[in-house]
Amino acid sequence: MNTSKRRMGLFYVITGATCWGIGGTVAKKLFQDDQVDVDWLVTIRLLTAGILLLMLQLFRKNRSQVIEVWKNKASAGQLLIFGLFGMLAVQYTYMASIQHGNAAVATLLQYLSPVIVIIYSVLRKRTVLTKQDIITVLLALAGCFFLLTNGSISQLSVPEIAVVWGVLSGFAAAFYTLYAVGLLNKFDSLVVVGWAMVIGGFALSFIHPPWQLDFKSLTAEAYVYILFVTIFGTMIAFWFFIKSLQSLSPK
């Protein structure tokens, strides 16, 4: 693989992961200080970020892909699955874990997804288990153990429900990472991520419509936080993460 291409892939994935983690911390503040509902926040951030990404694609060379992705039944079906079981699942489980616990634990549990990807790839014989893989898995599990238990197995530092949502988030992130590759081979990352967000946000709108919120109770600071979570913690985070898969393997 071209070295410069790989470096750009690493830049995208590191930047995306960083924005995602910081966005989680900001979201926790919205849950605690402004009593923002997790369903509403996930709905509004997905719809807004998805629409913005699709609008960006309209200014690019391959703008026709915004519509073309729906003309093929196979790709349309893949996009629906990715939007519901990938994008929406990752967003909701992660936010639920933050709401019941904290951003640090939720982020760490979600980023156990590379462990799941490695195990899946080995079982499907898509890759060979290496010494580096084993070290990576052990370090991830050790970090998870210490953060959740504070070094003592007698009690968890966060409620069990937060751990459950966090682990589910890890599996959702692994599916999201693996399943996206097929779509990225045919369509631009902006199209894939943008439509997946719109699909996920639209589906969740039936549970919590985006207009059902006491907007007058929100402070100016809260609106800034919501904007940050939407632009950096969602739009850039997911776009860059998915874009990295065009030059890096899922593992």
pLDDT of 195: 95
pLDDT number for residue 1? 56
The domain total for the chain is 1
Q: Is the distance from CB of 118 to CB of 133 less than 8 angstroms?
A: yes
Residue 213 lies in a domain: yes
Let me know if residue 65 belongs to a domain.
yes
- Domain with 191 in it: 3-244
Asked whether residue 184 is assigned to any structural domain, the reply reads yes
Tokens 């200080």 -> residue? 33
Q: Please give the Cα distance from 70 to 207 (Å, whole number).
A: 25
Asked whether residue 251 is assigned to any structural domain, the reply reads no
250, part of any domain: no
**pLDDT given at position 154:** 65
- pLDDT of the chain, 251 residues: tens digit per residue: 578 888 999 999 999 989 988 988 898 888 888 888 888 888 999 999 999 999 999 988 888 999 999 998 999 999 999 999 998 998 889 888 888 887 777 877 887 888 888 888 888 877 788 888 888 888 877 877 777 677 766 666 778 898 899 999 999 989 988 888 888 888 988 999 999 999 999 998 988 888 877 777 888 899 999 999 999 999 999 889 888 888 888 77
Query: Residue 84 corresponds to which amino acid?
Result: L
129-133 contacts: CB < 8 A, separation 24 or more?
133/251
Q: What is the pLDDT of residue 77?
A: 94
From CA 117, how far away is CA 171, in angstroms rounded? Answer: 9
